[in-house]
Chain A
Amino acid sequence: MGSNLKHIRHLYARAGFGLRFEDLRQVEGLSVKQAVDLLLAQADRVDDASIIAGNINYKDFLMANEGTKKMFLQEQRQQEKALNIDWVNKMSTSNAQLRERMTLFWHNHFACRTQNAWYAQQLNNIQRKHALGNFKTLLLEVSKSPAMLQFLNNQQNQKNHPNENFARELMELFTIGRENYTESDVKESARAFTGWGFTKDGEFKARPALHDAGNKTFLSQTGNFAGEDIINILLDKKETARFICNKLYKNFVNETPSAVHVNAMADVFYSSKYEIKPLLTYLFNADWFYEEKNIGNLIKSPVEFIVGLNRQFYITYQNPDVVLQFERALGQVLFYPPNVAGWPGGRNWIDSSSLMYRLKIPSTVLNGGVIDFSGKVDPEDEAFIATTRKQKEAVTTKVQATVDWDRFTANIPAKASPLAIAQTILNTGLSAGLTNLINKSTDTKAMVIELVSTPEYQLC
């Protein structure tokens, strides 16, 4: 693989959900810069989530009888599931993959849980709409969304009894980061957000009667601040640009941030008044983004892993519960982060059981759980292989997934060698063992299944 193609593969691994053979056809002959432009242009398209048709008011149901309440809870669970699957499908099929990838980033940055699927969808659409837009607009809309107001208890944040939950997380996790504010800043800014709440129809509402209109001293400034003022003061601090860029760097470049590169990103971000698109354009065109140490050394998040597999093999699930099961087993259920800090990521994705799941899932979906391989086997293995073959049909029935092998195969360039195929699917270098395995294989499909069942495939 030429270095240009290698860099484009790296770009797609990070700015999207992995390079498909179909994409390979599209980018052949493009420079890296042109490929970045292509991804950015494709990201212009915004496909709102719309699967949840309307808001169900919880309070009406609490007053209803037991039977209705039960139906309501069932409906609520159905909706949560539908919203989750709808987004996985969107990520798996959309051409605006950079927008979806960034939506996923903001989904984790502004981690939030709500049982109300309508609110969750609203927040998801805010994050999608502004995924490459302006960070301040994004932050304001997120802060005013019922999902977040509810999750961080700002609905209960009132003049005489401030609730500090939102104010604290706003600084610690959403903007400026630890070490840059004091406990007193938390208390004072909480007062500025008093009265921010939402109506039962899911509309933001500032309630003046509950707002503390007194003077507040926040980050050494004093005034009768409202919530918007606090956000302005936070964004005036360059630490906020640095904090966001540091997080982006760890997500898109390397888990060990380089202060020099993060500062360069922060300069771009701050001077463009927190516009996200110029920042990403800078990042994906930076030479250092393509340095060897930054290639193939990030652990895919479970959703990136599942979506990447779906995209490469055009997988559709007849039973969406299967996708949810994967998310659960791998430790990343969309719309259900462990806490407001989101998923910690990196090596935290991997422990004994999640790794074994990750190694098993591709063959389960693609081939009824069977990995055909050409290595030597002992009698115990023969028994294992015989069992998996016998169970193949049962597994396939259970998983209920359709794989478009024809489309996958048709997009592989006719003259591509097995090694070239392998090098498109895996983002890492190929070890001697893997090269050996690739050279031994006589069947493309079997080889591909072997490749996606490796530790190497977990990396992007």
Chain B
Amino acid sequence: MKRRDFLRNSALASGAFLIPSFLKPLEAMAINNLSGHKNLVIIQLSGGNDGLNTIVPYANDIYYQKRQTIAIKQPDIIKLTDLQGLNPNLGALKEIYDQGWMSVINSVGYPNPDRSHFRSMDIWQTGSDANQFLTTGWIGRYLDSNCSTCQHPYTAIEVDDTLSLAMKGGKMKGIAVEDPGKLYQATRNPYFKQLINEHAHSNFNEDNLGYLYKTMIETNASAEYIQQTSKTYTTNSQYPQTPFANQLKTVAKFINSGLKTRVYYVSLSGFDTHTTQQNQQGRQLKIYGDAVAAFVKDLKQAGKLDDTLVMTFSEFGRRVEQNASNGTDHGTANNVMIFGGKLKKQGIYNNAPNLSQLDNGDLKYEIDFRDVYATLLDKWLDVNNSQVLNKNFSGLGFV
């Protein structure tokens, strides 16, 4: 028996389990205070980020042939290996890469790729096959899996004002918190407390009214826990002045203050670059790179980087050949970026994308995205991936 399980079981034996968990989060969580704690941070780039202009395969002539006007010029590229380099707007990540805190997995995708934003984003967020429609997200199903720390909505926090499908399970869902203080204040109203008390012992129906009351009750408990735990922590680290950097700053505050959250979710949009791509994508990549670099350094300083993994994905990459409007159309496979203090394989994880063997002008995937998820589930979140992904994936070796 693992030490963590032993401690939990002894706490259960002491009678703590009699308390409905959503009513007593502070007490219920105290039992986990001694456990090692790993955080997963997911960053979603919405709109279909052009991976080929992010991690540039500069040594491949085909890249320059197919992208006459929008290819990143050789001298501007920040070289990582003999084959691939960073978009110049990701300059801030070079230091992170050199420290061994970054890994790039090339050509991640799935069979029969879908080129619709919504559908492909759903596939990534639910972890489904291309022809399978799931209504729960993969993190949501992780919450459903009865893992030791999954009883509470705050096990998965999306720092945003709405909750993504990825975070919604069948029974459980994560919580969206843009500003913990504000959310907490909103739940303090005595009238709402009365409504909560009246319904605290109800068996909620499956209907929307039951759903609303259940959400209200869970919000109340989680808001209190998040606020009480994180309010005293202040960071000395410098972050860029962007809303996205602010979201990562909030995540760092939560992690560094010792919140028992396992998964954090943030997103950055603006990557749908059908026209005049270079400026638009450059702007977004700079926002992304600068914020992530600040975030990683903040965690390092607080001694939390070894306990944290960051994964960045987008719903698809873009077509290899540019279009007539100096942009790129929807494509398929893409790179996934991983950050963390304890990476098993640092740097570029696998072969650079193959630009000569394409599927209808698009990259062929070499790694199923669910193998990335499986790795995170098995090795980081301590739950068997088949429980969440509905079949078993063998996983990768980046951690």
Question: Which residues from chain A sit less than 8 Å from chain B, CB to CB?
Answer: 153, 156, 158, 160-161, 163-165, 168, 172, 178, 183, 296-299, 328-329, 331, 339-341, 347-348, 350-357, 359-360, 371, 373, 375, 377, 381, 384-385, 388, 428, 433, 450, 453-456, 458-459
Contacts and interface: CB of A to CB of B under 8 A. Distances in A.
Interface stretch (B8-16, B88-96, B140-148, B188-196): B188-196
Interface in B104-146: 115-119
B371 interface: no
A387 to B, nearest CB: 10
A450 B323 CA distance: 57
Nearest to B182: A353
Contacts of A178: 116, 119
Contacts of B186: 353, 356-357, 359-360
Contacts of A296: 209
10 contacts: A158-B324, A161-B323, A299-B212, A353-B176, A353-B177, A359-B189, A373-B194, A433-B198, A455-B209, A459-B212
A158 B274 CA distance: 13
User: Which of B163, B193, B195, B198 has the most chain A CB atoms closer than 10 A to its own CB?
Assistant: B195
B274 A163 contact: yes
A156 B329 CA distance: 12
Interface stretch (B19-27, B216-224, B298-306): B216-224
Given A156-B325, A341-B118, A352-B176, A384 B161 contact: no
Contacts of A453: 191-192
B326 to A, nearest CB: 10
Contacts of B176: 351-354
Contacts of A385: 190
A13 to B, nearest CB: 13
A388 B191 CA distance: 12
A458 B195 CA distance: 14
Interface in B177-220: 177-178, 182-183, 186-195, 198-199, 207-209, 211-213, 215-216, 218-219
Nearest to B153: A352
Contacts of A356: 183, 186-187, 216, 219
A385 B193 CA distance: 12
B69 interface: no
A388 B117 CA distance: 45
Nearest to A381: B190
A354 B177 CA distance: 10
A258 B173 CA distance: 27
B151 to A, nearest CB: 16
Contact of A384 (B182, B190, B213): B190
A374 to B, nearest CB: 10
Contacts of B161: 328-329, 331, 353-354
A259 to B, nearest CB: 16
Shortest Cβ-Cβ A-B pairs, 4 listed: A161-B324, A381-B190, A455-B212, A356-B186
B175 interface: yes
Contact of B162 (A351, A359, A375): A351
A450 B191 contact: yes
Contacts of B212: 299, 350, 355, 455, 458-459
A351 B215 contact: yes
Contacts of A352: 153, 163, 175-177, 183, 215, 218-219, 222-223
B278 interface: no
A369 B182 CA distance: 15
A168 B189 contact: no
Interface residues on B, range: 35 or more
A160 B324 CA distance: 8
Given A158-B324, A375-B191, A454-B195, A331 B275 contact: no
B189 A360 contact: yes
A161 B361 CA distance: 14
Nearest to B222: A352
B213 A455 contact: yes
A116 to B, nearest CB: 16
B329 A384 contact: no
A24 B215 CA distance: 33
B193 A381 contact: yes
A384 B329 CA distance: 54
Contacts of B211: 347, 350
Contacts of B207: 297
Given A168-B116, A428-B209, A456-B209, 15 more contacts: A163-B323, A172-B116, A297-B207, A339-B117, A339-B118, A352-B163, A352-B219, A353-B176, A353-B177, A353-B182, A353-B219, A354-B161, A355-B219, A357-B186, A385-B190
A98 B320 CA distance: 47
B329 A350 contact: no
A381 B327 CA distance: 57
A377 B119 contact: no
A26 to B, nearest CB: 29
B323 to A, nearest CB: 6
Contacts of B182: 353
Given A168-B115, A353-B178, A455-B216, A156 B199 contact: no
Contacts of B193: 381
A375 B329 contact: no
Contacts of B173: 351
A455 B118 contact: no
Contacts of A360: 186, 189
B208 A297 contact: yes
A458 B215 CA distance: 13
Contacts of B162: 331, 348, 351, 353-354
A331 B177 CA distance: 13
B364 to A, nearest CB: 16
A156 B116 contact: no
Interface centre among B173, B193, B323 (most CB of A within 10 A): B323
Contacts of A388: 189
Contact of B199 (A183, A340, A433): A433
A339 B195 CA distance: 36
Contacts of A454: 195
